[in-house]
Amino acid sequence: MKTTGLPLAEPMGDPAGCGPQIIEKAWRAKDESALPVFFAIADPLVFPSDLPLRIIESPEQADPVFADALPVLKLDLHGVDALQTGVPQAQYAPAILESIQRATELALENAIAGLVTSPISKSVLYQAGFTFPGHTEFIAHLCAQQRKAPVDPVMMLVGGGLRVALATIHVPLMRVLDHLTADRLKTVIEVTDHALRRDFGLRSPTIALTGLNPHAGEQGSIGYEERDLINPVAQPLRASGITVSDARLMTPPRNGHARPRA
């Protein structure tokens, strides 16, 4: 992914979880792994006492201290004097949400290169009135508030050179078809193509659509969503200059095996 010279922000996640440990280990491995400059948004209480810390007031102060100490944009776990690791508590919820919100605000102000979320315990947040399925939807809500316009987020999983953008997010399997619409698919494809070009530096990205049903519907014996919903979205997008394949339909099986249609 392209970098901008700005630091990354890491909200602390659930202070009783593994987020602070991940941030600590990342800082300690910064030289070995050639990591970019980052800072934590956290209460210093969540980190071990032997970790060098430096309190900063703004993102631009992270770079000069990063080599010697973990920069921390401080927030307070109000009313918490000692932290019990592994025991999520509802009293942590306000600080967890504040850390995510502050990182999102900094991203929207172009003050950071991006934010790296840490694990959260959503059951704890729900006790405090949190109404979003996860990080993705919460951050989209914050972005929509700032833009004063709806935001339709796209989640991408990246690993080993493979990038997978999800057509639905945090939806029970039995409700996927309620959310898998032509408009949603079009948005996901367009946002993914734009992100691959802008953020990953790919000049000519190729997007492959997967089938919804086993064997991509098996010519209708399992379902027609590939033929009737998914592939028709790709056709006009190809005409607009996006390289996107159809979900490969399958011919009837021969000798017990299905074959992709040429």
Number of structural domains the chain divides into: 2
Same domain membership, residue 232 and residue 129: no
Which of 147, 164, 189 represents a domain boundary (last residue)?
A: 147
For residue 191, the number of C-alpha atoms closer than 13 Å in the C-beta half-sphere is 16
As a whole number of angstroms, the distance between CA 148 and CA 62 comes to 30
Q: What is the mean pLDDT of residues 88-114?
A: 93
Is residue 3 included in any domain, yes or no?
A: no
Roughly how many angstroms between the first and final C-alpha of the chain, as a whole number?
A: 34
pTM of the prediction?
A: 0.81
Is residue 1 included in any domain, yes or no?
A: no
Which of 116, 147, 178 represents a domain boundary (last residue)?
A: 147
Phi, psi of 72 (to 5 degrees): -130, 120
Q: How does pLDDT run across 16-41, given as a tens digit for each residue?
A: 899 999 999 999 999 999 999 999 99
Cβ-Cβ contacts under 8 Å for 96 (sequence gap 6 or more): 11, 12, 13, 14, 15, 120, 124, 125
Q: How does pLDDT run across 35-84, given as a tens digit for each residue?
A: 999 999 999 999 999 999 999 999 999 999 999 999 999 998 877 767 77
Same domain membership, residue 141 and residue 163: no
**Biggest alpha carbon–alpha carbon distance for the chain:** 68
As a whole number of angstroms, the distance between CA 113 and CA 38 comes to 9
Assigned token pair, 131: 């109404």
Same domain membership, residue 207 and residue 112: no
Same domain membership, residue 57 and residue 132: yes
Instruction: Check which CATH number belongs to the domain holding 54 and give it.
Output: 3.40.718.10
Is residue 2 included in any domain, yes or no?
A: no
User: SS3 of 7, please?
Assistant: coil
Same domain membership, residue 196 and residue 80: no
pLDDT, residue 258, reads 47
Which of 147, 164, 185 represents a domain boundary (last residue)?
A: 147
β-sheet bridge partners, residue 92: none
Question: Does 117 score more than 50 pLDDT?
Answer: yes
Give the range of the structural domain holding residue 191, as residue numbers without chain letter. 156-260
pLDDT, residue 233, reads 96
Burial class (CB in 10 A: 0-12, 13-18, 19+), 144: middle
Same domain membership, residue 143 and residue 20: yes
